Structure 1
Amino acid sequence: MRAAVREAGRATVHLLTGAGVALLCHLMLGFLMVTAVLTAAVFGAAVLPEAVLTLRRLAGLERRRAAAWSGQPVPEAYEPLTGTLRERIRTAVHDPGSKRDLIWGGAQLLYGMVLLYAALILWGPALLVDGFWCGLAGRRPVLLPLIGRLADVGAGWSRTLLLPSPEARLAERIEQLTVTRADAVAAHGAELRRIERDLHDGAQAHLVALSMRLGLARRAYGKDPETALRLLDQAQDQAESALTELRHVVRGIHPPILTDRGLAGAVRALAASSGLDVAVETGGAEDGPRAPAAVEAAAYFVVAETLTNAAKHSGARRAAVELGRAPGRLRIAVRDEGCGGAEEGRGSGLLGIRRRVAALDGTVTVASPAGGPTVIEVELPCAW
């Protein structure tokens, strides 16, 4: 009974603040009407963008209230009110997000007050009836939970009215994909430059030296066979070094171990060679069909880069890698018990990880407080 009363009290406070927001909406709608008249009269046009900004702030307050009650964030999508006065007025008038805020303001004025009155009216019968039933063989309350349902209804209506319009979500998605494409192009260019540098400084240099030694051995073959034999031995060593460099370049493009062992086996190999005590939990990632090659490669490089950073910079001795399946997703989590404080702008490789993951429309979450631990979680879309 006490728990039910506390929950009903919390719901009533939520509805009371909702009624307060409704009163603010009443004032806001009146202010907007005055602003519209002034705008039509021209001399008050500069007030309209500021009024729309005020409405956005009020809607933002309701989004936070609804998210705090339901536990589900309510995103927002607005066109920025920037530029000349004419451009700001045009945006204020035509922005779909502001139009939805206006519709919500009118609705909140109604249901915000109605739900509060319903909750206040329900309190008396709820205490009497529920007190009777709880005193009778300790049965559960039947009316007090209804007050919480009223708060659920209010938060649900606010969420429905304040969610971005399909057009706004589409525009936001297009903008996100534009940024992602730019990052993917930048990452691809950086990868090509790295491969070119590795080939030029590594394999190509060894092949040039190999060609020179073969030429010298050919010239010395008739006059000094011992020198020619020594040069051929050096040429063989040079050829082996070139092959090693080429294998290194190939591993940087798509590690053969992924093809041979799969993602779980490749991650275990990374853990064994990282220099840290790494615990690997596959979480069923080995069961069933494999992920696409591009997804496996991205996951492999995420783990490789993260473990390398941990070994170099964190001062940790232990780390843990978790792989997990989800419907349409591959999840990777890497945790180290180091000093924390990892930042993208400090050459920690996080920017490269984020770009590689964004190219596949995945997400990266980094938690690295000072003193540790550092946890990097990645989700990649995956058609199993």
Structure 2
Amino acid sequence: MRTTVRQAARATVQLARAAVLAFGTYLFVTVLLFTAAVTLLLVGAGILPETVLLVRRIAGSKRRQVAAWTGREIPEAYLPVTGTLRTRLRTVVRDPGTYADLRWMVAHYVYGCLAYLAVPLWVVGLLVDGVRCGLLRRKAVVLPLIGRLADLDATWSTALLKPSPKARLAERVEVLTETRAGAIAAHGAELRRIERDLHDGTQARLVSLSMRIGLAKRMYDADPVAARRLLDDAQDQAEEALTELRHVVRGIHPPILTDRGLAGAVRALAASSGLDVTVTVTGLADGDDGGGGRAGARAPAAVEAAAYFVVAEALTNAARHSGSERAGVRLDRTVAGLRVRVSDEGRGGAEGALASPGSAAASGLEPGGSGLLGLRRRVAALDGSVVVTSPVGGPTLIEVELPCVW
């Protein structure tokens, strides 16, 4: 009986919250919508976006209530209401989530009254179930109905509030539009970096090399010793130009990925980072043998390159800015793709840098597509996700999910 009463009490609290929200729904439908309709005629359509945003907040409150009761989140899919008034109006009218919320609100206007049945059920339950459990030693039959009412409210709300396929598609298109813009920006920044490196470094050295060879040809007959000295300098210039070209190529696709695979390439990064780095690899081909790798799988080349640059950027930031002497890198093959985790025990603060591109001091974030911002754009271009946990005082954890087919 005690367990039944506790369960009924918990369900009653849930139903009480639903009742409060239902009462608010009644007021909204009967008063606010009427007022909005009148205002719409008198003031204009400018109030419509704000009304829709209010409906979203009410629906979001119901989603949180249901999630607290069932333990399962109800996803939401809305188009962002931003821009000019005309754009905002077009967004709320075309957003499938708007009509889903309105359908739920109308239905909740009807089934929300179920919450008020908890009061008479308590009265009857204490009498009937008290006799059945206390005297007849039988199971309670009335109080459990309160929990079933809460389940019914949650089931109907979930069915009405979960995004429709059309709403998910609209949200997906919005996300892809944003990631495409980020990918284009990252690609443009990468091209500018390559052009700058070639123009300021390699091209300048090649010009100097050509001039030295020309001078050596002119001086060869008159002063062979000076000509030989110029040719030696030209050879040094050629070697430096090759070194810079290798650096540019590594920035596009590191050859070590092809030779040793992601695991071997990451271990090489860890060894040259200046930190005490622990590398853990699960389910991937390990390139330590210098060949094709031991048992495991290889991710697609684009995914391996993204993971490599994630680790490179994270270790560089940790070495330069965290103040930590140790770091950890973990590569895991998952059902959906590849997970990369990089952690350090430093001073933290990278969360604020990720949110504010101008604050580079804490995490090495730089404007123009480099740093953590460039990392996030590179991952988003592959439909991946980046989560940075780095409170002030540390520690810092960067977790990246890269979807792929194995």
Shared fold (TM-score, shorter chain, > 0.5) = yes
Residue 88 (structure 1) shift: 7.4
Residue identity in the other structure for 2:76:
P
Relative to structure 1, is the Cα distance of residues 275 and 7 closer, same or farther in structure 2, using a 3 angstrom cutoff?
farther
Of 359, 372, 382 in structure 2, the residue corresponding to residue 360 of structure 1 is 382
> Does the CA-based 8 Å contact 1:119-1:150 persist in structure 2?
no
* CA 1:104–1:127: 2 relative to 1, 3 Å: farther
Counterpart for residue 333 of structure 1: 341
1: distance between equivalents of 2:87 and 2:247? 55
Question: Residues 220 and 227 of structure 2 are in contact (CA less than 8 Å); yes or no, is this contact kept in structure 1?
Answer: yes
Could you tell me which amino acid in structure 1 is paired with residue 253 of structure 2?
H
Which residue is equivalent to 2:55? 55
Alignment partner, residue 23 of structure 1: 23
CA distance in 2, matches of 1:109, 1:127: 34
CA contact (8 A) 1:280 1:321 kept: yes
In structure 2, the residue matched to 1:246 is: 245
CA distance in 1, matches of 2:212, 2:133: 96
1:15 Cα deviation after fit: 1.8
Tell me how far 1:259 sits from its aligned partner: 0.6
Question: Residues 291 and 382 of structure 1 are in contact (CA less than 8 Å); yes or no, is this contact kept in structure 2?
Answer: yes
Residue of structure 2 aligned with 1:321, choices 302, 321, 329: 329
Residue matched to 1:189: 188
Distance 2:134 2:76 in 1: 41
The alignment status of 1:74 with 2:82, answered yes or no, reads no
Q: Which residue among 316, 333, 346 is the counterpart of 1:308?
A: 316
Kindly provide the amino acid, as one letter, of the partner of residue 81 in structure 2: P
TM-score (norm 1): 0.85
Residues 27-55 of structure 1: per-residue CA shift (max 9 Å, x gap):
22212563477379x44767963654443
Partner of 2:157, secondary structure, is: helix
1:88-123 Cα offsets, whole Å, 9 max, x none, are 778766653332222212322343332563697385
Deviates more, 1:29-38 or 1:318-327: 29-38
8 A Cα contact 1:130 1:144, kept in partner: no
Partner of 1:379: 401
For structure 1, list consecutive stretches of 5 or more residues without a partner in the other structure.
Answer: none
Q: Which amino acid letter does the alignment assign opposite residue 29 of structure 1? A: V
Q: CA deviation at 1:82?
A: 7.3
C-alpha distance in 2, partners of 1:81/1:314? 37
Bigger drift between 30-39 and 373-382 goes to 30-39
Aligned partners of 2:249, 2:167: CA distance in 1, in Å?
Answer: 43
Indicate the SS of the match to 1:282: strand
- How do 1:161-240 residues align onto structure 2 when only pairs under 5 Å count? 161-240=160-239
| Contact 1:45–1:89, Cα closer than 8 Å, also in 2 | no
Aligned equivalents of 2:11, 2:261: Cα separation in 1: 51
Residue matched to 1:106: 106
CA distance in 2, matches of 1:258, 1:128: 75
Shift, 1:260, TM fit: 0.9
**Residues 243, 44 of structure 1: CA spacing in aligned structure 2 closer, same or farther, 3 A cutoff?**
closer
Deviation, 1:374, is 1.1
Which structure 2 segments of 5+ residues have no match? 286-294, 366-370
Counterpart-to-counterpart distance in 2, 1:191 and 1:302: 15
Instruction: Report the alpha carbon displacement of residue 78 of structure 1 after superposing the two structures with TM.
Output: 5.0
Q: Share of identical aligned residues, percent?
A: 60
Aligned equivalents of 1:252 and 1:129: distance in 2?
Answer: 77
Cα deviation for residue 57 of structure 1 reads 2.8
Q: Which residue of 2 aligns with 1:291?
A: 299
CA contact (8 A) 1:339 1:371 kept: yes
Mapped contact 2:77–2:168 kept (Cα < 8 A): no
Q: Aligned partners of 1:80 and 1:15: how far apart in 2? A: 32
* Alignment length (residue pairs): 378
